[in-house]
């Protein structure tokens, strides 16, 4: 397990491999959580207000169901025309 050191300005440098694995870059925010004498750093991505709906639990559940359906082959199409789509939906 990698070790880090607290610097003179109370800064900690995270290992590059950890940042890459978590998809984190310069300027990203981490929430500091204290638990049983441990310090947990939890990544917090900024989400624009007009995109917050996507990250709701309900929407994420629907997305997972859609991916599961796609993986299991439960889908229709592709369709050449809108009329073909409508015909398929009416059957």
Q: Where in the chain is the domain with CATH 2.10.260?
A: 1-45
What's the CATH number for 1-45?
2.10.260
Per-residue model confidence as pLDDT tens digits over 30-47: 999 998 899 999 888 777
Per-residue model confidence as pLDDT tens digits over 71-88: 999 988 899 999 999 999
Gap between the Cα atoms of 42 and 45, Å rounded = 10
Q: According to the model, what pLDDT value does residue 16 have?
A: 94
- Give me the residues paired with residue 38 across strands: 35
């Amino acid at each position: 397990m990698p070790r880090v050191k607290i610097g003179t300005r109370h800064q900690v440098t995270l290992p590059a491999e950890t940042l890459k694995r978590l998809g984190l870059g310069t300027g990203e925010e981490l929430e500091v959580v204290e638990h049983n004498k441990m310090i947990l750093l939890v990544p917090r991505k900024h989400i624009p207000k007009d995109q917050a709906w996507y990250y709701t639990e309900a929407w994420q559940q629907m997305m997972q169901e859609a991916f599961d359906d796609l993986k299991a082959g439960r889908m229709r199409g592709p369709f050449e025309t809108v009329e073909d789509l409508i015909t398929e939906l009416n059957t």
